[in-house]
Structure formats: C-alpha cells, structure tokens
C-alpha cells in the first residue's frame, strides 16, 4: 500500500462501484424475466486482467472459463462472450438458466479488465417451463447447455447462436430482450472503465487494483478472522430432499481449521458431505480451487464485525481468496458432482453452506453469530390466460435469524434488492386474486431475540392452473442457537391439502386457494429471557399468538388482543419452572425443530450440535 497514492485508490474504488451500479441499473430497468426484473437474481462484476474480482457488493460468475477457451490475446474490442454450461464454468455458474455475458475492456489495444453480468432467465428449455425440473436426473433434462462462445464478434452479433438459443426457449422474446439488455449494459460498463485507464494510465490503475484487494485481505484478517478462536471446529446441516429419493438428510459438513499464524489462516474442509444426489440439488463447486465458493461464503464472515453498520461497510472482493484454503471430498458428492448430475436446485446446497459456515462460527465463538435464515424458494402457478400461456414464478423471502443485538427481520431476501411482485401488477397480468399478503404468525423462532417471520400469502385462482414449487426447509426448520428455538418451516396448502417442498405441476381448480407460508428465522438466546413487554407487543402486532406467548415464552397475557396486559405473577411462576426444565447450551447449542427427529431416525440433535 505504501507505494500507491491513497487518493487515487479512493477514486478508482469509487469509480468501480459506480460502474458496477450503472451496469446493474441498466439491466434491471429493461429486463423482462421476472427472476431478473423483480427478484434481482442477476449480478454485474468487474474483474481485472488477472481474473480477480474487484467489486465487492455482489457475488458474480467467473471469467476463468472464457479465457480458458479464448486466450486473452485473441480478444478484440466489441467482442462479447457467453456461457451457461455449469460443468464448463469452473464453478461460476450453478444452473443453466443463469446466462452469463462477458465483455473485455481495452486500453491501448490490450485487454485490461472484464465487465461481466449473469442473470437468471425465464426459460432455456428442458423438461418443464422455467427450466427447473425438480425431478430431473440429468443435466440433459435441464435445458440447453452453452459452453463459452463468442456471442458478438467485434460488434457483430452471432445470429446463428442467438437463433439456436431462442428456438430452445419457451419464452424466446424475453430471452432475446434480456440478452440484449445484458450485452448493452456490459459494453457501456466497459467503455466507462476504459476511461479511468485512459486518465491515469495502466500502471497506476493496476496498482490501485492491487491495493483495493490487499486492503480487503488485511481488513478481514485483522478485524474478522481474529475473532475466531484457533482450533478445529465442525458442524453440519442438511438438505431434506432431492426430488427423486424419499426425504432424508443430505449432509453438508464443514470442518473449519483456524490458525492465525499461518499464511492461509482458514481451512474449510467439506469432507463428510453426502454423496451426490440423484435429483437436482448438486453444486459443481470443486473447480479453480473453489474460488467461486470462497467469495460466495466469505460475506458470512462479516457478521463477526463489531456492529451491523461496520458489517455493511466491508466489501468482499478477490482479497478474501488468499485467506481461505478449501478441501473438497473425492468426486461424486453434493459439492463434487460428476457430469451430467443435475444441478438446477443447487440453491439447496449453496444457500445451506452459508448457514453451515454461520453455524460453525457460532459454535467457535460461543454464539456471536446470527441464527439461521432461508430466503430463496420458488413458488408459482402456470397455465393459460386470455393472453395465452403464462408462468408466474416468484421468489418469496423468509424471516432472518435472531442476532445477539436484534430480532430477526420479517420477509427478507439474501439477494440484494430482490423484490416481491406487487399485487396490483400480478392481478393485472395473471388470472388470480391475492386474498392475503401477510406475515405467518408464530413462524419466527422463539428466542431472547426472536427470528423474523415468513410470509403468509393466499392466492385464489380464477382459472384452472398448475402449482409449482422448489423449496427446501419444508421439513427441517431454520435453526435457533444459544438457547434460541427453531423457526417454522415452509408450508404450502392447495385448497387445504399440504404440498411437499418440490412440486412440478399440482392441479389447482378455479376458485381454490393456494396458501404459501414461508420459513421463519431461528431464534437467538433463551425465549424465557425475552422481555415480557416485547412478547406482549408481538402479540398486539399479530406476530406471536397468545398461546405461543405462554407456551414458547412463558408469558401469560390477558385482555384484548390489540392491547394485551401481562399477568406478571403467573409469568414469573411459569418462567421459573420453564428455565429449570429448559435444555442448557451444554445439552445442545442448536435447535433444529421437530422435523429433525423425523429424518434422523428419532435423534433430537446431531453429534455436532454439542459444544
């Protein structure tokens, strides 16, 4: 850092953030696939010529597969590269609907950086509308696989490639439109980035890139990793079903070894992770030394910072990579699947891994981490409307886990700026009425800091249709920690009939109601330590029922629901008895909810749940 100008570093970093934002804004405003348009399931990233990610707000795909197949010296201004092939993406692409566009940035005739965007498109073919067949047994059922290709050659689009891709999609127009949006936005970003090289020169700008990355390495080491005690820490969590086999525990395990004096202080070893699933919950992670997963998981480390404000300031760029070594099990596990194992529901693994890392850190730090959240699942209806066939698919968030400083929040989403679909938009486009968009009472895990609540959404179909969902955590709950209890799992009923988490096409008749309840976050700390007044406020606000106040929190209330009064004496009595009976953290540091014994053969806790 000593030989670079700290002022220029600040200017370059500000420009990178500004360009990343401009590219994402441009895509968001013109996109048509609901996953991009509303759920914001797309990301822009800026990478240097050494393929290092420079920006820090988002996760992103990798440039590695592009330069593997197209050497940098063969690239020309106006070239645009494209890929979505999971097994040829070096681990940067998780499932086929994520289409990735890469544009090289030129300075004085040489490639100096890359601007990349990838987004989750409506449909790229395959067995079911939306290209996410939950019962797929092979990648060939999941859609069209495109290895890295040159989609534009020096400004000229490759019409043949575009025609093949749109021909293979059920939604060719939105696919074409969204690809145009991504290409135009990346080309704009590449021009903007070129300007900063022109102004300050390549050497000065690249010195700033080095400094920006080194700064992240140092900050993470000094401010976050130092909070984890040295030693070996083990924890695991599970996906509950894969769409093919009966529900069972699909283990994802992390053995975290911390050695502050080592050059690479963290080792994340996935050994102990279950065999690859027959169904589509695999994630091809063991490529390029796990560089994608390192950047995907590192944001969890930010929870170790001193305040939520500080956590939000910390960027995750390539600087986290030198701090983490990854050890993958042999080929053939959930994280090391063998082609053509299906991957379309790989969120079951990569989202869960965020939680496994949070859990292992909670264990290592005596609970100074948030309880569990689950925020991605797809629910939708499809069929025929007056305008022809339609697919309404939404990503509804869930509650976040309680934290040592605050309750979890209601209906949030791990993807930044991901949005639900406005009811007034939905009803003008698709044949249903939303009868309720509320919070699922009692869904938040009880705790001194309660888990956030999930949705309670009721949709009344006006025409016959099919229901689909891709959801984990329909049996297992978001775990509570440090005495906090698990949240309620995901549950859909169609006309009162309970659905499983993975549904491709369940018939819904006109007039019937689809009721979607999403997961509540886990609780943090003992619910008996929660202030009784806060429990009463939750009851007044409709977030906790009078019964749960008594049974889960030991708080006895009387009077009207919208102005409940605390029976102090009965509460003290009940809480004293409950504290005496409650399990201590010595018994189990995590609560996985009532679904766990169902899949574990009756065990209340896993071995790794004990401190």
Site for another protein in 26-45 (CB under 8 A): 26, 28-33, 37-38, 40, 43
- With CB under 8 A as the contact rule, which of the stretches 215-223, 260-268, 322-330, 470-478 interacts with another protein? 215-223
User: DSSP assignment, residue 60?
Assistant: -
For residues 322 and 153, give the distance between their C-alpha atoms in angstroms, rounded to a whole number: 35
Q: Which two tokens stand for residue 450?
A: 């309660």
Segment near another protein (CB under 8 A); pick from 95-103, 111-119, 166-174, 359-367 = 166-174
Q: Which two tokens stand for residue 226?
A: 């130092």
Query: Which position among 406, 546, 588, 604 is part of the footprint of another protein (CB under 8 A)?
Result: 406
Residue 388 near another protein by CB under 8 A: no
Least distance in angstroms from the C-beta of 599 to another protein: 25
8 Å CB contact between 531 and 553: no
Smallest distance, another protein to C-beta of residue 371, A: 10
d(CA 184, CA 257): 44
Backbone angles phi, psi at 522, to 5 degrees: -75, 155
Question: Cα(491)–Cα(488) distance, rounded to whole angstroms?
Answer: 9
CB within 8 Å of 576: residues ≥ 6 apart: none
Interface of this chain with another protein, residues 538 to 577, rule: CB under 8 A: 540-542, 562
Give whichever of 262 and 433 is closer to another protein, judged by the CB atom.
433
Q: Which stretch binds another protein (CB under 8 A): 101-109, 214-222, 229-237, 551-559?
A: 214-222
Give the β-pairing of 565-566 and 497-498. unpaired
Report, in Å, the least distance between residue 410 CB and another protein: 6
Which residues face 314 on adjacent strands?
Answer: none
> Could you say which of 229, 231, 422, 597 contacts another protein (CB under 8 A)?
422
Question: If binding is defined by CB under 8 A, does position 466 make contact with another protein?
Answer: no
Cβ atoms of 235 and 254 within 8 Å: the answer is yes
Q: According to CB under 8 A, which residues from 48 to 87 bind another protein? A: 56-59
- For another protein, the closer CB: 106 or 296: 296
Inter-helix orientation angle 202-219/6-30, to 10°: 90
8 A C-beta contact, residue 189 and residue 83: no
Nearer to another protein, 57 or 170 (CB): 57
For the segment 167-186, give every residue that binds another protein (CB under 8 A): 172-174, 176-177, 180-181, 184-185
Taking CB under 8 A as the criterion, which residues in 362-381 touch another protein? 370, 373, 375
Q: Which stretch binds another protein (CB under 8 A): 19-27, 80-88, 238-246, 279-287?
A: 19-27
Smallest gap, in angstroms, from Cβ of residue 416 to another protein? 6
The whole-angstrom separation of Cα 231 and Cα 340 is 38
Using only the alpha carbons of the chain, give its radius of gyration.
Answer: 25
Task: Using the rule CB under 8 A, give the single segment among 14-22, 254-262, 343-351, 595-603 that binds another protein.
Answer: 14-22
With beta carbons less than 8 A apart as the criterion, state whether 441 and 471 touch.
Answer: no
Toward another protein, which CB reaches closer, 28 or 608? 28
Residues that bind another protein (rule: CB under 8 A) add up to a total of 98
Instruction: Return the range that interacts with another protein (CB under 8 A); candidates 46-54, 406-414, 592-600, 601-609.
Output: 406-414
Alpha helix stretches (DSSP H) within 299-392: 308-313, 347-365
401 binds another protein (CB under 8 A): yes
Is 531 an interacting residue with respect to another protein (CB under 8 A)?
A: no
Q: Which of 77, 272, 438, 585 binds another protein (CB under 8 A)?
A: 438
Which of the ranges 111-119, 235-243, 393-401, 468-476 carries the binding residues for another protein, by CB under 8 A? 393-401
Q: Return the SS3 of 392.
A: strand
Closest CA to 526 of 487, 557, 555, 485: 485
Q: By the 8 A CB rule, do 482 and 525 touch?
A: yes
The reply on whether position 187 binds another protein by CB under 8 A is: yes
- Binding of another protein at residue 221 (CB under 8 A)? no
Using the contact rule CB under 8 A, the part of the chain among 89-97, 110-118, 329-337, 411-419 near another protein is: 411-419
Whether 589 contacts 238, CB under 8 Å = no
Selected from 6, 155, 389, 597, the binder of another protein by CB under 8 A is 6
Those residues whose C-beta lies under 8 Å from the C-beta of residue 458, and which sit 6 or more positions away, are 434, 435, 436, 513, 514, 515, 516
If one asks whether residue 188 binds another protein (CB under 8 A), the answer comes out as yes
């Amino acid at each position: 850092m000593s030989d670079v100008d700290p002022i220029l570093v600040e200017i370059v970093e500000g420009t990178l953030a500004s360009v990343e934002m401009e590219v994402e804004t441009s895509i968001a405003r013109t996109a048509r696939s609901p996953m991009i348009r509303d759920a914001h399931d797309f990301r822009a990233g800026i990478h240097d010529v050494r393929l290092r990610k420079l920006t820090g707000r988002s996760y992103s795909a990798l440039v590695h597969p592009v330069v593997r197949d197209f050497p940098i010296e063969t690239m020309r201004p106006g070239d645009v590269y494209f890929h979505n092939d999971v097994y040829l993406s070096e681990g940067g692409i998780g499932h086929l609907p994520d289409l990735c566009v890469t544009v090289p940035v030129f300075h004085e005739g040489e490639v100096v950086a890359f601007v990349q965007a990838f987004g989750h498109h409506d449909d790229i073919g395959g067995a079911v509308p939306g290209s996410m067949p939950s019962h797929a047994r092979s990648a060939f059922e999941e859609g069209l696989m495109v290895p890295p290709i040159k989609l534009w050659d020096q400004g000229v689009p490759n019409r043949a490639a575009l025609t093949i891709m749109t021909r293979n999609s059920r939604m060719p127009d939105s696919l074409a439109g969204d690809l145009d949006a991504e290409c135009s936005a990346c080309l704009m970003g590449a021009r903007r980035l070129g300007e900063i090289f022109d102004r300050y020169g390549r050497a000065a700008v690249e010195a700033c890139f080095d400094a920006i990355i080194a700064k992240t390495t140092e900050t993470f080491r000094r401010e976050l990793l130092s909070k984890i005690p040295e030693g070996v820490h083990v924890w695991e969590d599970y996906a509950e079903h894969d769409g093919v086999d009966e529900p069972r525990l699909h283990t994802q395990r992390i053995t975290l070894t911390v050695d502050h004096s080592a050059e690479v202080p963290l080792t994340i070893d996935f050994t102990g992770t279950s065999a690859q699933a027959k169904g589509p919950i695999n994630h091809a992670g063991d490529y390029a030394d796990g560089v994608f997963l390192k950047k995907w998981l590192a944001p969890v480390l930010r929870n170790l910072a001193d305040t939520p404000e500080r956590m939000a300031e910390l960027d995750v760029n390539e600087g986290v990579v030198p701090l983490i070594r990854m050890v993958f099990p042999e080929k053939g596990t959930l994280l090391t699947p063998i082609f053509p194992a299906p991957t379309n529901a790989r969120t079951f693994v990569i989202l869960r891994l965020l939680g496994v890392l949070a859990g292992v850190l909670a264990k290592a730090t005596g609970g100074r981490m948030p309880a569990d959240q689950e925020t991605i699942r797809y629910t939708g209806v499809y069929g025929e409307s007056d305008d022809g066939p339609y697919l309404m698919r939404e990503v509804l968030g869930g509650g976040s886990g309680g934290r040592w400083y605050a309750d979890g929040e209601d209906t949030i989403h791990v993807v930044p700026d991901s949005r639900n679909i406005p009811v007034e938009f939905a009803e003008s486009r698709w044949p249903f009425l939303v009868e309720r968009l509320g919070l699922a009472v009692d869904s938040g895990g009880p705790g001194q800091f309660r888990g956030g609540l999930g949705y309670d959404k009721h949709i009344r179909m006006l025409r016959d249709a099919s229901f689909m969902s891709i959801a984990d955590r329909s049996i297992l709950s978001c775990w509570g920690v440090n005495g906090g209890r698990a949240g309620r799992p995901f549950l859909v009923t169609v006309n009162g009939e309970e659905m499983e988490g993975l549904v491709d096409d369940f018939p819904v008749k006109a007039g019937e109601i689809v009721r979607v309840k999403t997961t509540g976050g886990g609780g943090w700390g003992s619910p008996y330590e929660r202030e009784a007044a806060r429990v009463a406020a939750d009851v007044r606000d409709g977030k906790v029922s009078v019964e749960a106040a008594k049974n889960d929190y030991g708080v006895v209330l009387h009077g009207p629901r919208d102005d409940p009064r605390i029976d102090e004496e009965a509460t003290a009595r009940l809480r004293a008895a409950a504290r005496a009976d409650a399990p201590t953290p010595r018994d189990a540091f995590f609560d996985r909810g009532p679904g766990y014994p169902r899949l574990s053969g009756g065990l209340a806790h896993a071995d790794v749940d004990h401190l």
